A and B are shown apart, each in its own frame.
Chain A
C-alpha cells in the first residue's frame, strides 16, 4: 500500500498540508524547513527553509532549484494552505506564526502573540481568520489581514495540541493535553461545551468531511462525537495502544491514525472497526525507535494518504486496487460490548 517514499528533510517531518488545487503539498519539519512537493509524482517542488539555511524552491518540470528564502528558527508544527488566497500559513515551536505569500514565496505577515511553542494551526473555511493553539494552553484567533489577535480562547489547563474549525457552530473545536475537548463560540470567544470523555491528552482530532461528527484520538481510545452538540457517539472498537499523534478521515469513511510507534491503523468510520494495521518501515540508516508518524493527511480527493514520519521521510500511501476479499481477508469480530469509557 506504500506507494512512494520521499526523503528530503533533514529532521522529523512534523506537519503536512495540501494545496486546495491538489497540485502540491507542503511539509514542515524539525529541520526548520517547509518543503513543497509536487503531488503528481511526488517530486520535490520547492522547499521553504526557515533558518538562514537555504529555502529551496524547485521547478516542477525540471526539478531545478528556483528560490531561496528564510524564516522559522524552530521546528514547524502546523501548516495550512488557504483556499481563498495565495497564502500558506505555518506555525512552529519558535512561537511564530507566519503567513507566506506563494506568489512571492516570502513571509508577508507574522502573527505575534504566542507565549510558547505553537502546536496546531487551522484556517476558518468561510471567514478570514486563523486559529493557532500552543503550549501556552491558549487557542488564539487571528485576523489574517490585520494580524490582530481577535480572541485568546483560554480555558484549557494544558497545551492545546489540536484544533479544527467548521463553518457552523461550534466553529472552533480544540483538543488539549488536559484531556478535554472544548467547543468555542466564535462570536463571543466563549466556551460552548467541554467534553471530558478522554483520559489522556487529545492529540489528534478529525472532522468527517461530510457527516456532522468528528473523531478524537488520545492514547487510551479513539472516540467519535456528533457535532452540533458534541454528543458522545461511540469508541472505536479496538485500541491502538500507543500515543496517537495524528488522524485523518476521507469521504469514503476510511480513518487513518498514526501512532508514535510507527503504527498506521485504518478504521471504518461508521462501525469503528479497525480493518487494517500497517507499520511503517523506517528508512535505512534510521533507528527502530525512529518509527513514528507525526502527521497524516489525505489529498483533496481522498485517494492518497501522506504520512510524515520521524525517520525524516514522507510516505505516500495508496489504496490497493487489486485487493480482494481473498488477498485481504476481513476478519470482523465485533466485541460483545463496546467500551464506553
Chain B
C-alpha cells in the first residue's frame, strides 16, 4: 500500500468503496504514518446514511491482517461490551462510536473510559462518528484532542451517486435504465395549508398553488446541457439528496417503479408543523444516535415528560420509522430534520 494520499487516482481501493477514494487515501496516509511511528487517531465524520460504515468496511477489507473491526449498533451501557475491542492487532476500526455515550446523567462513563484507553494505547484507532454526536462531544468532552485527524465524508457527485445506486443492480436490469422515462416536475405544485374558519373548530386544509422554482432551474439546465434521461435522473436525485448516498438510495427506491423513474410525484419530507422543544429534542437525540431504543429515550426524558406521545407524533409526521423495536430518522427526512434542528439549535456546530 504505497499510494500517495494526495493523488487519489493512484490509490487502490476495494470495489465497494470507489466513491470515497479521497477519504480512503487519507486513511491510507494515516496508516502509513502509523507504520512510521507517527500515531494520529482518526475520526470519520458524516451525516446519517452518508457512507461512513461503507468506508470503514473498505478499510477493514484492505487491511484485514492488521485491523480489528468493531461495529456498534446500539447504545453501549457497560464497559464489558466496550472491552470487546481488545485484540492483538495494531489497528482498531470502530464503527458507530456515537453509541458509546448516552445523553443523560451518568451516560458518559463508557465514553470516558474509552477515551482514556485510546489516549494511553499504542494502537491506532480509526473511528466513525455521526456528525451531530461528534459536534456535541466536541463541546462536552473535547474528543478532537483524542482524534486529531478528522475526515469528513464529502457529498457525492452525480456520477458517484449513479455508481453508488446502480451497483445494487445486475447488468440485465441496467439495460432498462437507458430508456428510462423522466417525468419532469411541473411548474406549479399545490401545497395544503390549514385555514381556520370561525364556525369550525378544526382547521380546513385548503390546497394553495405554488410556483415550483426548482423545476424551472432544472428544465433550463436540462435544456442547456442536453443530458441523457439517465443523467438527468441522477443529477436530480443527487441534488435532492445533497450528495448523501443513503438519502439518494431512498429517493431512488421511492421513485423507481419498473420501468419508470418518476420524480414528479416525489415530495421531500419536510417538517412543516412546528415541533415543540421536547419533540424536537427527542428528534435530535434520535438523529444523533442512529437506531435508538425506546428505553434509551425514556432515560433521556428522565421522568420530565412522557415519551410515547412524542414518538407517536414523530411517527405520524413520517420523520422517524420503527425498525426492530428501535427508532431512526427516515432517510428522506434527514435534510428537513437537519434544517429544523439547526434552526432550533438542538444540534450544535
**Physical interaction between A and B:** no
Show the binding face of B for A, using Cβ within 8 Å.
Answer: none
